[in-house]
Amino acid sequence: MAYVLPHKAGVALKQVKSVLVRFCPFESNVESTRNFLSCLYAKKASASNSNCDLKTDIRHDGSEPVIDIKFADGDRLIMKGANLTVKEMLHAFNSRCEVKELAAQEKTQKKSV
């Protein structure tokens, strides 16, 4: 079952090179990580960057859920999902993407001037 946010929080992968989501599905602290993953596979999100490498690493070892995001500029965001809500993850991810998108737009504007 896909997770639907109560508010419209789109996920844009335009500035993202790859995402690795790793979790053990049998642990009690993986719900927010799984919900974040479902947001990444939403039609609108995947359409925003068809070159983004989305990988899921499902383990049966009791490991902590981790989301490892690599951006096009080489920056990295690692979120440990055990103690985060999906809303907190989306906020951290989207705010980082917005900053990178603004920087890319400014760089493009400087080149055209």
Q: How many domains does the chain have?
A: 1
pTM, full prediction: 0.85
User: For residues 91 and 81, what is the distance between their CA atoms, to the nearest angstrom?
Assistant: 13
Q: Is residue 85 part of a domain?
A: yes
Segments forming the whole domain that contains residue 52: 16-112
Q: Is residue 74 part of a domain?
A: yes
Rama region for 94: left / alpha / beta (φ>0; ψ in -120 to 50; rest): alpha
User: For residues 65 and 80, what is the distance between their CA atoms, to the nearest angstrom?
Assistant: 6
Our measurement of the distance from residue 79's CA atom to the centroid of its chain's CA atoms, rounded to an integer in Å, reads 9
The pLDDT tens digits of the residues spanning 43-97 come to 999 899 999 999 999 999 999 999 999 999 999 999 999 999 999 999 999 999 9
User: For residues 102 and 72, what is the distance between their CA atoms, to the nearest angstrom?
Assistant: 14
Q: Is residue 4 part of a domain?
A: no
Compute the radius of gyration of the chain from its Cα atoms: 15
User: The domain that contains 106 carries what CATH number?
Assistant: 3.40.30.10
